[in-house]
Amino acid sequence: MFSNPDQNILKLGLREGMRVADLGAGTGAYSIAASRCVGHTGHIYAIEVQKGLVKKLESEISESGLTNIECIWGDIENVHGTKIADHSMDAVIISNVLFQVEDKLGLLDESKRILKRGGKVLLIDWIESFGGMGPSRMDVVPEDKAIDLFIKRGYKLLEKITTSEHHYGIIFIHE
């Protein structure tokens, strides 16, 4: 029913030693999946605006023994809100977040600021509202609108990926 983080992350082509930002990390499913791909020499930055989720994720990561994930309380909608250095990330993950943020262009600008040239963005979001599951119908960002937002911000569409019956997946590249 839901999108599988492990399968989706594989499509991003992460390798040992890469640095990845998971914007709006939530419970950390994508951060944890990415941590396995980048290995001990890589690093994952799990950025979340809700302090309660940051604390919960820190606890889960500590219990799991993962040492390559850093949780950051930050604002993903504002430039420099993630507290990550300019052009330092090999990839950015934006999963089930686009429909939630008020400043979508701010999110894309912050993503671009932290992403290296040639870096990729994995976007996963809801296809539609499903009778109480997922976002409200008015908050859904259709796939074509998401593509348009990214292209207008200077990203190039690399590929659409199969995720689940309720989500679309797109990989963009920062040229």
Q: What is the DSSP string of 52-115?
A: HHHHHHHHHHHHHT--SEEEEE--TTSTTTT-PPTT-EEEEEEES-TTT-S-HHHHHHHHHHHE
61 pLDDT higher than 80:
yes
The dihedral formed by the CA atoms of 85, 91, 96 and 101, expressed in degrees to the nearest 10: 30
135 pLDDT higher than 80:
no
Question: CA-CA distance, 146 to 71, in Å (whole number)?
Answer: 27
State whether residue 21 is helix, strand or coil.
strand
What range defines the domain where residue 26 resides? 5-174
Average pLDDT over residues 119-145: 85
**What are the angstrom distances between the C-alpha of 34 and each of 6, 71, 143?**
8, 14, 23
Amino acid at 70: E
More confident residue, 60 or 129: 60
Count how many domains the chain has: 1
Q: What is the pLDDT of residue 1?
A: 44
Please say whether the dihedral angle defined by the alpha carbons of residues 42, 113, 101 and 156, taken in this order, is positive or negative. negative
Angle at 32 between CA 4 and CA 65, to 5 degrees: 140
Cα end-to-end distance, the chain, whole Å: 34
Q: What is the CATH number of the domain that holds 12?
A: 3.40.50.150
What share of the chain has pLDDT > 70, as a percent? 96
* pLDDT tens digits, 153-163: 999 999 999 89
Average pLDDT over residues 70-86: 96
Question: CA-CA distance, 14 to 16, in Å (whole number)?
Answer: 7
